[in-house]
Chains A and B, each alone.
Chain A
């Protein structure tokens, strides 16, 4: 695939990932081509020429223009806070002060920590830092003062600049317990004439032209008059800005005070408050953290910092090019707006959910869109292409869109990536182009289908069986809780529903407790504490807590989610291991090969599951198929009563024959001097079924690869048949488990 399509010239995103039938969805497109053609497609199956199967789509009539003019739209990454000044504030100098902990000082590149500028760029100041030192410049870029001492990376410093009316300039850096000053006299003040401050902008962590800061900022103070050196010392000593300077002509933006909000209050009167742009990390400790508490809710005043990144992106903010009103009678399912210009094609996916009042279909599929977002624009396939050869034991290629993405850091990262300063990415938004949520996206990990493209195979399988089903996403589950599942006899998950909120777990629990049936047809589900933020970008948030050994680890005091305050990390460490509700939970992963399952003697208690399946107790099935070549592969789950698997759950089959490349998750690794058993008996996938009082039931397969294996030989295979047996029974039979 090398060299093919490496230039993505047509790309877009929807303003949501799901819309009810009859609802409206807007699409934002960047096109380097003069025009493109939009059509509505129902996605029936994922695939492409480089996959082992073709993509299947059906055009659906919709009220769309024949062509749309193309225009290039770009994203602007980089987080900062901006606050417009109130009009008519008297100006006769300037004071700028802030606490900073830089995380990526980069040669002599000046990163702006604080700026105050007039709209025409004619007046103002920028306070910046680089590895060479600190600088105060006027709005025109002329250096006013400079210190040849830089703040220390990952340590808090205090930087202040004052300009008096008569041109006295003082620049001070307090680093540790040492202070560095530069005093200048007779400078040209940036504010010689007092004028209207209408349109003036105060920015924290950026200048008017970007120059983004990487690191922590806290307690910004801006005044339209210089202050005395003694006031600088008091601020550096931790005194409150309003106590030192009053409120008149002073801005003291309360960063971090409301960690879940983009709005930032101003304790002074210079602005009416500001807005955090591109979602910098909040709920991070500030310079006066006493290290006694690690939960920001207990000591909110000590969490007065934001962590800004030059590659933060929340809402790409593109203009709308196509508006679609989904037909009111449109069937629930997976769709895409297909945009075409010559050989250039993009498919912007979305789910049509049942409209309100529609009688519930017997079967409901929940697509794990939060997990799609967690992996959205995951950059390591292209960044670590060579390293992955060793991981896989073979060269599997990369989707060309990933190579293109590597040149576009402004499109944001996945929750598995790190920022340019090495800190972990905690937020992922849907309001941006996401190249790997595509029906034809090629995933090297699985030699083809994974996530969205794989879950389309499940829908294809349901279609071929003639099932009457509806589709929703994690967002509907979060919005409506158990109501989103109510009335559907069988709820089916996607192949990898890893990222969940408490509300989502509660909804599944309520469904099963009230007689509903659940088929968890995936692996590593319900694993990671996740929350969604308010607002149009639909951003999800995680923390990787407790010394995570996955992708990155949260910093000290940063394990609580800014969105909810709850402790982040794995649900397991919150007492909600997936086994409790779903029978199985994440145990191992590896990507060389998938394996088959051996049927257990206990499976005779639910013999009907194997009806028509030519597998006796002790025999192996599911060891063939596309992708990794078996049903038990990718990330796999095991039953474990000690972690919460119900004691009466029946393990129907257990995977066998895993290679040494399939490794136990770190959270399960035994810490002892005893020589470990090899291979670890916990490296296995278990297929589990159990009933609940009231007729509820859960069937779990414990493997991401399962639904890929269901497609083997056109669906004529044991894995498919077994799934069909369970679906039929769960849908139609009052007794969900015991042999009839």
Chain B
């Protein structure tokens, strides 16, 4: 992509400024603000619809290439100049290779490690090397001292093995500069040349300590009991796991900054295993896990800032960049300056970020043929992305060392958060581009609505939601904080009406990172549909300390809030729903007004994409998981193929043979429930629903049902279960 960019936020209140960061390999480009009315592209069944908004932006801006360098590291100092120096660090290499990576550096003096052993260099001059391979994924302790005469001593201690030591003579030289862990300060663009692995207990001293001190450090002694605290750095990596700064327990530096969100709250070399929650044994969780593809902020300079007019209607917009054939649209939501509309749409931006720059479409194109049973093609931007690992990964990817990605930031170009992005999983629309179809549907109905994102719900909670009669979710609001769940629950318990028009929502424990508020954090735990699992002792979010994984395992299955919760997924096809007998009760039959399908008949079995309203990821009602006992199941999906698989947390235990045919838990349920005080929830239990709403120009049962519910929810106070 020769023209690509990102905004400093995903949503902006009308009247506030938003800044854009652009990299352009062409001479220049034309910036425009557009309102996005509908997603699409020539590759989709649908054309993109956008309207230019008068913006006062210049006609043309000059292009410049802005590089990105990934890789997390720690930086403190400066230190020195000093004639003698000691460096020591515990490390656990996760991807030892032939090229050396920096462990600990002061200025140009670098202690580094490769698969062959450790070395010490000054600039490009090697001072000493020690051929003693560290063991992959095992803690080892490296130390280097250089005294005033230039005598170098290198030590590698590998628990359970004999120690290795070497000495060498170098010309005496002063050491000075920034103290870094995992980096030597080189910034080259692309994947960082930083260390992959865990690091703990760094020690830097402005003295060359004796060998006995090295031995004591390797045995776990506190460096400040061995070395003069005034001339020693002992950065406390266990401190404030949700922050980006750590104090120095010694006096050599004023503390350090942790760059690019390495994984924190990670057990260190002296973890006893007694506790798995870093809050219960903070001193044992004194490690960082550094990755050369960590990225918290691409760090590009801003190219333009736009002050959003205070009277601009709330909705979805983009900065459209054009240069001949090259086009990029940087999306953002304009949130309402005043809450006047009856209807609010919450775009699940946290889920968009969870999937941001998901790389497996390009990486596993061939393997996905088997999953889909057909070739669906991919978005060309995904192929380009595969050549740019430095642009960070999604929460479904793994790092270069195979460990799971726990953080995702919006301060970077995100190629799949685009109105014309083609998703193979659904043969076209998913996430952001799909949610634009819902807005298009609202526009065609002439609805008066406002749009916000997960960020506003997380920040303003039930106060925000309570300004609206009806709140609509996007198609896949999977990633939520406790505060967001609290907000929706409080809203519906205080008279609010929620339309959950998606699938696999409210599923995964997620938090905004306090040190990097533009980034989110999760831990996968060991359950659920996941593409990686957390390492031992790493299931608590550094951001909050809370246990990560599924909300279900925290006692908050989605069913409690929404009446339905994630049950199955599969991507061969979408399917229809069969109306239940209960749906004929006059108290709820109003939902089906104008829908030809009678009780026992199937609707929603057609449409674009997967070709049905019940598809992609599916949710079911289950009282034992918290669905309110008086919730009414109006319809349940039918006809699923064996490719629609039950989620792992629902797979039956025991020796009993599974029921024949499609598992009865493999289904999407459409549910209506009322709450005391007039609150209500309508849930459709399927990601594919809002895509199916567009079928036949919006003339279809799924669209009609949604409209019936929206009209009643918006206009009629009092219990929703009851004749109209």
Contact = CB atoms under 8 A, between A and B. Distances in A.
Given A292-B482, A388-B655, A551-B654, A642 B271 contact: no
B367 A556 contact: no
A486 interface: no
A672 B277 contact: no
A573 interface: yes
Given A391-B655, A546-B526, A291 B555 contact: yes
Contacts of B54: none
Interface string B470-494: 0000000000001000000000010
Contacts of B161: 646-648
A641 B136 contact: yes
A660 B364 CA distance: 26
Contact of A553 (B273, B628, B653, B657): B653
Contacts, number: 141
B526 A567 contact: no
Contacts of B162: 693
Contact of A549 (B136, B626, B651, B655): B651
A464 interface: no
Contact of B273 (A154, A294, A552, A575): A575
A154 B552 CA distance: 14
A502 interface: yes
Given A152-B629, A567-B275, A573-B536, A295 B654 contact: no
A73 interface: no
A3 to B, nearest CB: 23
A237 interface: no
Most B Cβ at <10 Å: residue of A390, A553, A557, A673 = A673
A583 B343 CA distance: 62
Interface string B374-385: 000000000000
Interface in A525-553: 546-547, 549-553
Interface residues of B, number: 62
B536 A293 contact: no
A289 interface: yes
B213 interface: no
B649 A673 contact: no
B280 A295 contact: yes
Contacts of A502: 273-274
A153 B552 CA distance: 17
Contacts of A573: 276, 526, 536-537
B552 A556 contact: yes
Contact of B160 (A152, A546, A692): A692
B530 interface: yes
A250 B537 CA distance: 44
Contacts of B60: none
Contact of B364 (A574, A576, A644, A673): A673
Most B Cβ at <10 Å: residue of A285, A567, A641 = A567
A177 B676 contact: yes
B656 A154 contact: no
Contacts of A383: 655
Contacts of B525: 546-547
B649 to A, nearest CB: 5
Contacts of A566: 274-275
Interface string A552-579: 1100110000000011000111111000
Given A556-B553, A647-B160, A546 B527 contact: yes
Interface string A399-433: 00000000000000000001000000000000000
Contact of B655 (A291, A384, A547): A384
Nearest to A391: B655
B528 A575 contact: no
Contacts of A294: 547, 553-554
Contact of B623 (A154, A550, A648): A154
A674 B364 contact: yes
B160 A648 contact: yes
Nearest to B277: A295
A176 B677 CA distance: 14
A693 B162 CA distance: 9
A673 B546 contact: no
Given A176-B629, A547-B553, A673 B368 contact: yes
B419 to A, nearest CB: 26
Contacts of A675: 367, 370
A576 B629 CA distance: 43
A292 B546 contact: yes
Contacts of B547: 293-294
Nearest to B134: A647
Nearest to A667: B526
Given A178-B676, A293-B547, A557-B555, A155 B623 contact: yes
8 pairs of A and B residues whose beta carbons are closest in the complex: A547-B527, A384-B655, A673-B364, A546-B526, A154-B624, A291-B555, A575-B273, A556-B555
10 contacts: A154-B625, A291-B555, A380-B655, A384-B654, A387-B655, A546-B526, A547-B648, A571-B273, A641-B138, A648-B160
Interface of B: 135-138, 158, 160-162, 267, 271, 273-277, 279-280, 360, 363-364, 367-368, 370-371, 482, 493, 525-528, 530-533, 536-537, 539, 546-547, 552-557, 623-626, 628-630, 648-649, 651, 653-657, 675-676
Given A292-B554, A671-B532, 13 more contacts: A154-B626, A285-B555, A293-B547, A380-B654, A549-B653, A553-B649, A556-B553, A575-B273, A575-B536, A575-B537, A671-B533, A673-B360, A674-B364
Interface of A: 152-155, 175-178, 285, 289, 291-295, 297-298, 380, 383-384, 387-388, 390-391, 418, 502, 546-547, 549-553, 556-557, 566-567, 571-576, 641-642, 644, 646-648, 667, 671-675, 692-693
